[in-house]
């Protein structure tokens, strides 16, 4: 399946899709989107890349095993969940920074939580697909 056209296209598509997934992730609080969808789009981007350039290439480009994204993401989400304890609020209480940032809107713990979800989804999906396609 490693055609030249797909290869050439994917070299452009991967960064574009990744950027798009991050955009989807960040705007999730206001418009359709969020960590789950963003994560799935990002994993699709990597899978597409693997189809075009081969699994070995994609993995070497990633530099680390995608599985490590899972604990990382869990840590993000967990910290976001427990951070209200430090200011004496109950678990999962949302904390927001003042001010407004374009696209993202407001910055706060729910966003960090969503980033965690995003990372876990990418990690899980890629781990599953990479392991399966590696196995003979």
Partner 1 sequence: MLIVVLIGFLLSALLLFTGNFFKEKKLSTLLTILPLGILIYLLSFGQKIAQGEVIYLHYEWIPAFDVSLNFRLDGLSFLFGLLISGIGTLVFFYTSSYLKGHHFLDRFYSYLSMFMAAMLGLVLSDNLITMFIFWELTSITSFFLIGFNNESQSSRKSALVALGITGLGGFFLLAGAVLIGESAGTYSISQILSDPEAVRSGSYFSLICIFMTLAAFTKSAQFPFHFWLPGAMQAPTPVSTYLHSATMVKAGVYLLFRFSPVFEGSHLWHELLLIFGAVTMIYSAYHIIFRIDLKSILAYSTIAALGILVFLIGIGTKMAITAAAVFIVVHALYKASLFLIAGIIDHETGTRDITRLSGLRHKMMPIFITGVIAAAISGGIPPTLGFIGKELIYESTYHFTESVVFLTFLAIFTKILLFYAGFVVGMKPFTGKLPAALSEVHKPDIKMSLPPAIMVILGLVLGIFPGFIEDFISAPITQTFGFTDVEHLKIWHGFSEILVFSMVTILIGTIMYLTLKPNYKLKGFISKLEVISPLQLMNDLNQGFEKISGWWTNLFQNGYLRHYVATCVLFMVISIGYVVVFNFNLDLADQAFHQLTFHEVAIIVIMLGAVIFTVVTRSRLAAVVAMGIVGFSFSLIFLFYGAPDLAMTQFSVDTLTVILFVLVLYKLPKYLKLTKNVLRLEHGILSLTFGTLVSMIILMVLQQPVQKEVSEYYGDNAYLLAKGKNVVNVILVDFRGIDTLIEVSVLTVASLGVFGLIKLRIRSRDKK
Partner 2 sequence: MEVVLAIITGILYAAGIYMMMRRSIVKLIIGVILFSNGVNLLIFLSGRLKKGKPPLIPESSDVFIEAYTDPIPQALILTAIVISFGLQAFAIVLVKRAYKVLHTDDLDQLNTTDEDS
Between CA 24 and CA 43 the distance in angstroms is: 13
In the complex with partner 2, which residue's Cβ is closer, 80 or 125?
A: 125
Question: Are 127 and 70 contacting, i.e. CB atoms less than 8 angstroms apart?
Answer: yes
Residues 15-44, one symbol each (x = binds partner 2 by CB under 8 A, - = not), give ---------------xxx---x---x----
Residue 49's binding partner out of partner 2, partner 1, none, with CB under 5 to 8 Å set by partner kind: none
Q: What is the longest distance spanned by two Cα atoms in the chain? A: 58
Between CA 63 and CA 9 the distance in angstroms is: 22
Min dist. Cβ of residue 48 to partner 1 (A): 10
Residue 84's binding partner out of partner 2, partner 1, none, with CB under 5 to 8 Å set by partner kind: none
Residue 29's binding partner out of partner 1, partner 2, none, with CB under 5 to 8 Å set by partner kind: partner 1
In the complex with partner 2, which residue's Cβ is closer, 32 or 99?
A: 32
In the complex with partner 2, which residue's Cβ is closer, 1 or 132?
A: 132
Which residues are CB-neighbours of 42 under 8 A, at least 6 positions away?
A: 17, 18, 21, 22, 118, 122
Backbone torsion region of residue 30, taken as left when φ is above 0, otherwise alpha when ψ lies between -120 and 50, otherwise beta: alpha
Q: Can you tell me which residue has the tokens 């990382």?
A: 72
Question: Are 130 and 52 contacting, i.e. CB atoms less than 8 angstroms apart?
Answer: no
In the complex with partner 1, which residue's Cβ is closer, 15 or 71?
A: 71
Between CA 81 and CA 33 the distance in angstroms is: 20
Residue 59's binding partner out of partner 1, partner 2, none, with CB under 5 to 8 Å set by partner kind: none
Binding residues (CB under 8 A) for partner 2: these are 30-32, 36, 40, 121, 124-125, 128, 131-132, 135
């Amino acid at each position: 399946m490693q055609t030249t056209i797909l290869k050439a296209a994917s070299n452009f598509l991967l960064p574009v899709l990744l950027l798009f997934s991050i955009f989807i992730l960040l705007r999730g609080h206001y418009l359709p989107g969020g960590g789950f969808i963003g994560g799935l789009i990002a994993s699709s981007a990597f899978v597409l890349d693997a189809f075009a350039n081969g699994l070995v290439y994609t993995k070497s480009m990633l530099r680390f095993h995608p599985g490590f994204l899972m604990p990382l993401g869990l840590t993000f989400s967990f910290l976001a969940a427990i951070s209200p304890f430090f200011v004496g609020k109950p678990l999962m209480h949302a904390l927001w920074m003042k001010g407004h940032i374009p696209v993202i809107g407001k910055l706060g713990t729910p966003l960090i939580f969503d980033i965690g979800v995003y990372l876990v989804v990418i990690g899980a999906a890629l781990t599953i697909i990479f392991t399966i396609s590696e196995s003979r």
